[in-house]
Structures are given as C-alpha cells and as structure tokens.
A and B are shown apart, each in its own frame.
Chain A
Amino acid sequence: MRLLRSEFLRARSRRLVPMVLIGGLIGITIGMGIVAFTAEKPSATQIAEAQASFDQQVARCERNVERSQTSVIGSSPEAYCEREWSPPVDAVFLRDLDAVLQGTATFVILLAVFLGASLGGADWTSNTMQTLLTWEPRRFRVFLVRALVVAVCVFAITVFLQLVFSAVTDVVARTRGSAAFLPSDFWRSVLLTIGRVSVMSTALALIAFAISMIGRSTVAALGALFGYLIVVEAVIAGFRPSLQGNMLLRAAIVVITHQPIFDPTAFDSTGSALLLDVPKAWGIVGIYTLLIGLLGILIFRRRDVT
C-alpha cells in the first residue's frame, strides 16, 4: 500500500497528467464551441416531419428484423432500429453522441498510450528507476504497482473526459440542435461505449507501459507500438488477410464499435465470413495485454539497471 501511495503521488505530480486533462478539456471546449456556433436549431415543423418518417422507418425495420430472425447484438430490435435510422435534417442531434464517441476513441486512445508510455519511460530517462529500486528492490512488485497506477489513472482520465464531452454535447444539442429521436437504450448505450473506449484505452496504455519498461524509454515505446500497429499489422493484413482476425488494431475496432467485422474476401452460406466477433476481440485484446505485460515483467526482473 505504501508503494502504491508513493506511485500515485509520483503520477499525480507529473505535469503530463494535468496537461492531458486540461488539453482534453480545451479540445472539447473548442470543438463543441465551433459546433454550437455553426449549428442551427431545427424548426418544430422539421422535427414533426422527421418524427413521422422515424415512426414509419422503425416499424418497417422491426418487421424486417423479426422476419429474417436477424440477431441484434447487445440491444432489443426496437433500440437497434431506432439507432439505424438517421433524421433527414441537418442539425446537431444528441442521438449521434454514441457514434461520435466511437469516432473520438482514436484520440482518447492516443492520449492513453502517451500517458502509459510516459508513466513507464520517464523514470528511465531521468534515471530515477535506479533510485526507486534502492528503496524497493522487489521488481515484480514495482512493476505491478506501477501498472495498476497506469490503469487507474488512464481509466479515470478517459472516463472523465468522455463524460465531460457527453455532458457538453447534451447541452449543445438541447440549445443549438435537438435531443429528439433518442433510442430507448440511448444513455445505457453511451455509457457502455464510454466504458469500452476507456477499457480499450487502458489496455493499450498498459501495453505501452510494458514496452516502455522493456525499451526503457517513452519514445521507444511509442515508436514500437505505433510501428507495430501501423506498419506490421498493415503488412500482415495485406499479405495474409486470414490473420486479420488475430490483430490488435482490428480487435480494438471491434471492441469499441461492439460490432463484428467480416472478411470481404471470404464467404460462407450467410454472406461474408465472420472475421472477428466481439467476444473473440475482447479475448485478443486481453491476450496481447497479458503477454506483453508478462514479457515486460520478465525483462524488467532480469536486466541489470545501469
């Protein structure tokens, strides 16, 4: 517990943590400020016309779902159909928040990866890892406690920023757009998306942290992780498409969108063959995190600190 308190104090004292928070809040303010400034509130007539179209489309969709017996992942047919419909009005709709959160997940994950790599790599750059180990020589414990601190910090920060973003979007939509046509499970769906994005951010931050403990540098961790995700996985996906279902980037996309992805080059009796479903995507993210974490612990325990 003492080491945990020390590590939290260390993390809290880093300028990076408030910088990420303040930077995120400034980004939200500027982005939503521009949205609010350029948006026009739809008229009552536009909303009424859209409502009529909405009711018809949802009813038709529900009939199709029942007829084809299509399985709808994670929601009822009604909620599914309500989400599938888009209002034929150019305005800021609160109902788009879920999709926007999925869109901004890339930015949230980038922040998380940077945080994870920095919370691991900074000690090597300033050589304070040596000082820390002369106070707590049990390296396994040091690694685990710091990983826990990275996980808690990243999860808390990403949840906080997404909640703020959601709250600001709610205000902007109600004042400069519309909060109509919300699917019945809208807020539940938004909270689940926030949770999935934060868990995914935490997993990738832990991977970045482990790599920074292996490479003993923040920059090396960022370079290795992004190099792998952008270059290695792209090359493998290009030459060996059947392996895409085992890749971290694809798994991350499936986890965040909560939608399976299909292989456009392979077909089965129902159409495109399933490449990666949601449970397997969670499993892949977990395995990557666990394996790289274990590798980080092994190397951290064995290598000399000079």
Chain B
Amino acid sequence: MAMIEIEGLRKEYRRVRGRRTVAVDGLDLSVPEGGVFGFLGPNGAGKTTTIRCLLGLVRPSSGRLSLLGADVGDELPRVIARVGSIVEAPAMFPRFSGRRNLEILARIHGEGDAAIEASLERVGLRDRAKDPVKAYSLGMKQRLAIAATLLRDPSLLILDEPANGLDPAGIVEVRELLRSLGAEGRTIFVSSHILSEVQQTADHVAIVAKGRLIKAGPVNEVLATTGGSGVIVKLGDLEAGRRALADANIPATIEAGAIRADVPPDQSERISRTLAEARLFVTELRPDTVDLETVFLELTKDQGVGD
C-alpha cells in the first residue's frame, strides 16, 4: 500500500481583483511504505501547499489525495492519529513550556506522561522541557515539534523543511533523527529545498517545480537521469596520463586541470594500476558523482526555475 497517493492535485488561490495563482498544477505522486522520501523543489514550487492539502488544512481545487489508504476529503480523522506532521515553522505556544505544549497535544489522543517523556527523551529535550518555548533556539523548537509528532507513535511522518534555518549542528541532529526514524520502519515524507541534505537521508525522491512533478523515483535512478558518473584523476603530466588510460581502453578527457575518466567509481583501482604501470603517480583520485542539485538544475532548466 502506498502511504501517500496523490492524483491530479491542483490548487488555485484567488487573489485580489479576481487574479488566480496556481500553487499546484496537476501533481501525481505515490510514496511507498518505509524509508525516507524526499519531496524536493525550490521555494514556491508547491511543496507546502501539497502538504497542507494532504493534512486537510487546505481544500484542493481538484484532484484526489489519500493518506494511509484513506481519502483525505472524507476519512482523514480515521487515520490522522497515525500521521505526525510539521508544516513550515514549528508552531507552539511561545509562553508555555515545551512539556505543556506537548501535554496539550497529547491529551487530544489520550496519550499519557510516558509518551511525553519518551518523546522528549528521543529528541534530547528532557532537561529543557520546563523552559518556555520562547527561550528555545530554532533547532530546539524544531526538535520539540518533532517530539510532538512522535507522541502518537506515527507510521507516517510528514515534515516540511525540517532543517530550515538550522545551524550546521542542528542540521546534522535532524538528519540523524530522520535516519533513525526511517530505520524503525516508519515512512518519512520530508520536503526540502536543500537538495544536498535530502540526498544524504532519502531513499526515494520526487522533484517538483512550478506545481508540477518533474521526476520521481529511487535516488540512484534520479541521479542517473543526467548521465553516468566518472572518476577525477590529478597527476603531474595530464596528457601522458590520458594516453595511458586510452591505451588501457579507459575513455578519458582532460577537463579543468584534471583527467575525467568515464568509468564508474568502482573501477578506480584499475585506473590507479594502469597509471602506476606507466610510471605515472596520481596526486588525487576521487569519484565524479552527480549530485541532486546538478540533476535538479538539469531537469528544471526548461521550467524557468531560478529565473
């Protein structure tokens, strides 16, 4: 069963003087069970609107959405207890303590103190639970929001830009948390415009731009979209190195002060041995992999993204 199923989602916002803004334009998406699913796109791509539609906060103009097999329009209350979510910035009462904020939410589904303690422990906020939320750093607020989502022991987590505004240490914390939650068998649907961040945690990704789906699939498949990877080699005599590799049937070109060998990174040993036999010794040997950012820019170059 797909944890999230979206078919032909369209959302228009009416603006002043009858003008309309299309936030999501016929989006189709299927999120499989388990693991981390990255929902990628630049600011204004329609990610948050899609998430709001999924959670029943926003009424779609057209299209069909289901969460955990339940139709969002009619059956959302039936499954909402199994869904944890954060939409945009974590929204908590700033003058209440972290614990009080969790208590208020926990009571809605009858969760007790044990669930609150476990959630606080999980995100490392137990020592600061009595402090007012307004005294928390952004990273702590984000962790508190994640703790709130964990109160219900959800099988699906929908997190909108969870690393937004965090410092590097906070980003690492959130990344580790997402990894561990995904490893527990939960499905984590995480939207982000920080592509490098998602690449490190996601198993599957979907790339959206201007409210439309551009590409979706396992990360490796999406990365392969723009061509294969290679190996970058640096050494003293680049031309001699290129010839030696060509003699060994390894296609190579000289680019930007280095040799780029068009073979998968797992053949680095062959490159190293070939050059050593020609008495050429490498100073640097590294895989030239394509990252999500490159793929994203390649896939969206016709969409006017970033104009």
Q: Which residues of A contact B (CB under 8 A)?
A: 2-3, 5-6, 9-10, 13, 15, 122, 126-128, 130-138, 302, 304-306
Contacts and interface: CB of A to CB of B under 8 A. Distances in A.
Given A9-B104, A137-B80, A126 B91 contact: yes
Contacts of A132: 108
A130 B58 CA distance: 10
For A122, A133, A302, the residue with the greatest tally of chain B CB atoms inside 10 Å of its CB is: A133
Contacts of B108: 2-3, 6, 132, 135-136
A306 to B, nearest CB: 6
A137 B100 contact: no
A87 B51 CA distance: 71
B91 A127 contact: yes
Contacts of B92: 126, 128, 131
Given A2-B108, A6-B105, A10-B104, A137 B87 contact: no
Contacts of A127: 89, 91
Interface size class of B (residues with CB under 8 A): 20 to 34
Interface in B99-125: 100, 103-105, 107-110
5 contacts: A2-B110, A126-B94, A131-B92, A137-B55, A305-B57
B87 A130 contact: yes
Contact of A304 (B59, B91, B100, B109): B59
B91 A128 contact: yes
Given A127-B89, A128-B91, A137-B76, A305 B52 contact: yes
A15 B110 CA distance: 25
B107 A128 contact: no
Nearest to B105: A135
A227 to B, nearest CB: 23
Contacts of A10: 93, 104
Contacts of A5: 107
B56 interface: yes
Contact of B95 (A9, A15, A302, A305): A15
Nearest to B90: A131
A135 B57 contact: no
A134 B107 contact: no
Contact of A306 (B52, B83, B89): B52
Contacts of A126: 91-94
A11 to B, nearest CB: 10
Interface string B73-87: 000110010010101
Contacts of A135: 80, 105, 108-109
B148 interface: yes
Contacts of B104: 6, 9-10, 13
Contacts of A130: 57, 87, 91
Contacts of A305: 52, 57-58
A304 B52 contact: yes
A3 B107 CA distance: 7
Contacts of B107: 2-3, 5-6, 9
B80 A13 contact: no
A3 B106 CA distance: 10
Given A128-B91, A135-B80, A2 B109 contact: yes
Contacts of A306: 52, 57-58
B238 to A, nearest CB: 56
Nearest to A15: B95
Contact of B80 (A128, A131, A134): A134
Nearest to B58: A304
B218 to A, nearest CB: 29
A103 B59 CA distance: 48
Contact of B103 (A2, A9, A134): A9
A10 B110 CA distance: 15
Nearest to B152: A135
Contacts of A15: 95
7 nearest A-B pairs in the assembled complex, by CB-CB distance = A6-B107, A127-B91, A304-B58, A305-B57, A137-B56, A135-B108, A6-B108
A306 B160 CA distance: 13
Contact of B77 (A6, A13, A138, A302): A138
Nearest to A2: B110
A305 B89 CA distance: 14
B57 A131 contact: no
Contact of B93 (A3, A128, A134, A302): A128
Contacts of A3: 107-108
For B77, B80, B83, B108, the residue with the greatest tally of chain A CB atoms inside 10 Å of its CB is: B108
Nearest to B52: A306
Contact of B148 (A9, A131, A302): A131
Contacts of B59: 302, 304
A2 B105 CA distance: 10
Contact of A133 (B56, B83, B96, B103): B56
Contacts of B77: 136-138
A84 to B, nearest CB: 50
A7 B277 CA distance: 76
B57 A134 contact: yes
Contacts of A137: 55-56, 76-77, 80
Contacts of B52: 304-306
A136 B105 CA distance: 10
Nearest to A302: B59
A13 B87 contact: no
A122 B93 CA distance: 9
A13 B76 contact: no
Contacts of A133: 55-57
